[in-house]
Structure 1
Amino acid sequence: MIALAVVLVAAAALAAQHFWSGRTQTVSAPRVTRAQVPYAEGGDGTASGAPARASASPGGVIVVDVSGKVREPGLQRLPGGSRVADALKAAGGVRPGTNTEGINRARFLVDGEQIAVGVPATALPPPAPGTAAGAAPAGAGPTTPVSLNTATADQFDTLPGVGPVLARHIVDYRTRHAGFRSVDELRQVDGIGDRRFSDLRTLVRL
């Protein structure tokens, strides 16, 4: 009888322990800790103690000047990363019958640039004495600087020392880098060395 009682007590203790360990327990949600803003690094490489300022987002605003044969010419404010097609749409669209063959609608816009729609190419200067009418003097360039961000390959081809191949290199560089940001950037185009750049720097603009 004593042995049976011991067995029963042990069985009851095990059952009670099993029931207690299997009970439903309240679990609290983990505490969320907000990430701290990294501190800005000072000029000497040490932390300045002020939170770092967020870098400019690609969604900034750019301003371009749309002129020529559009319904609403003038300054247009567009989101950063916009293309020429977006600027034309913001200007009310191109007027019917306008030739837009030389406009690359897929090109990315650069802040401060001008888009001329349906404007004829700059006229050549009057022929010098002894030059046939309608023929340009040898080595003659455009009368006004050519825009690096809006000119076509044919317009670059009119510059002295620039042929069809180099003109295409300029356009390709502009497309890859979303436009020129300075005239000096023309040095980075394949085929333009220091000497050729010195000849072109006064004949081009942004």
Structure 2
Amino acid sequence: MKKIKVGLFVLFLLLLIFIPKLLNKPVESRKLQPIVVPELIKVEIYGEVNLPGVYYVESGTTYEKLINYALGPKLEADLSTINLKEPILDSIRIEIKKKDEPVTQKVNINTASLEELVMLPSIGEATAKRIIEYRQKNGAFLTISDLKQVSGIGDQTFEKLKNLITV
């Protein structure tokens, strides 16, 4: 019994000595990482996709990813006219057409590739590149007349294009 009392007394002394030291030990602080909130853009996809609708996606999302978000293309979808690796612009509507659907005469200046733009009258490769750069920097064209804000496209060029383009 005496040994137990001595043992408890020694344990008590050790606790009195070491507990304050343990409590005063500095706690290692973790560096907080800032939360990065991605910029979201709003786009609509319709036509030959399994889940058409309006989607909020990260800026820089490609057409391919958006089509996958819409649960993929239907069997009849014609993806040959779309650059799947091109980033999507904010506030645009994307129509996925059927393979046998006739191609419309109008070129969508918000989604047209370089190759499609150079097919338009008075639009060479340099001007087509400026149109694409303008889209990437300023976002989607809201009206076809906004095309005149691109360097090299004045009233005369716009008059040649206005019946051939859409937004």
Structure 1: distance between partners of 2:125 and 2:105: 20
Equivalence map 1:136-175=2 (5 Å): 144-175=105-136
Unaligned stretches of 5+ in structure 2? 1-37
Superimposed CA distance per residue, residues 51-77 of structure 1 (whole angstroms, 9 cap, x where no aligned partner): xxxxxxx96773402434xx5152232
Secondary structure of 1:108's counterpart equals coil
CA distance in 1, matches of 2:98, 2:134: 24
Identity of aligned residues (%): 22
Task: Give the match for residue 89 of structure 2.
Answer: 109
User: CA separation in 2, counterparts of 1:111 and 1:77?
Assistant: 10
Instruction: Letter of the 1:166 partner, please give it.
Output: T
Alignment of 1:1-206 (within 5 A): 62-68=42-48, 71-79=49-57, 81=59, 83=61, 84-94=63-73, 102-116=82-96, 144-206=105-167
Per the alignment, in what secondary structure is the counterpart of residue 195 of structure 1? helix
Q: 1: CA distance between counterparts of 2:158 and 2:127?
A: 12
Give TM-score, length-normalised by structure 2. 0.58
TM-score norm. by structure 1 comes to 0.49
The unaligned stretches of length 5 or more in structure 1 are 1-57, 124-142
Aligned length: 128
Match of 2:28 in 1: none
| Higher-helix-fraction structure | 2
CA contact (8 A) 1:85 1:105 kept: yes
Structure 1's 157 and 167: CA in aligned 2 closer, same or farther, altered over 3 A? same
Aligned to 1:128: none
Asked if structure 2 preserves the Cα contact closer than 8 Å seen for 1:67 and 1:116, the reply is yes
For the residues of structure 1 that align with 2:155 and 2:54, how far apart are their CA atoms?
Answer: 36
Specify the code of the residue in structure 1 equivalent to 2:68. Answer: K
Task: Say if 1:66 and 1:74, in contact at 8 Å, map to a contact too.
Answer: yes
Which has the higher Rg, Structure 1 or Structure 2?
1
What is the rounded CA distance, in whole Å, between the counterparts of 2:113 and 2:100 in structure 1?
12
1:167 is paired with a residue whose SS is helix
Contact 2:89 2:135 in 1 (8 A): no
Structure 1 residue 147 displacement after superposition = 0.5
Structure 1 residues 203 and 166: alpha-carbon distance in aligned structure 2, compared to 1, 3 A threshold? same
Q: Supply the distance in 2 between the matched residues of 1:106 and 1:154 (Cα, whole angstroms).
A: 13
- 1:146 and 1:203 in contact (8 A); partners too: yes
Counterpart code for 2:67: L
Relative contact order (C-alpha < 8 Å, sep 6+): which is higher? 2
Per-residue deviation, residues 17-38 of structure 1 (Å, max 9, x unmatched): xxxxxxxxxxxxxxxxxxxxxx
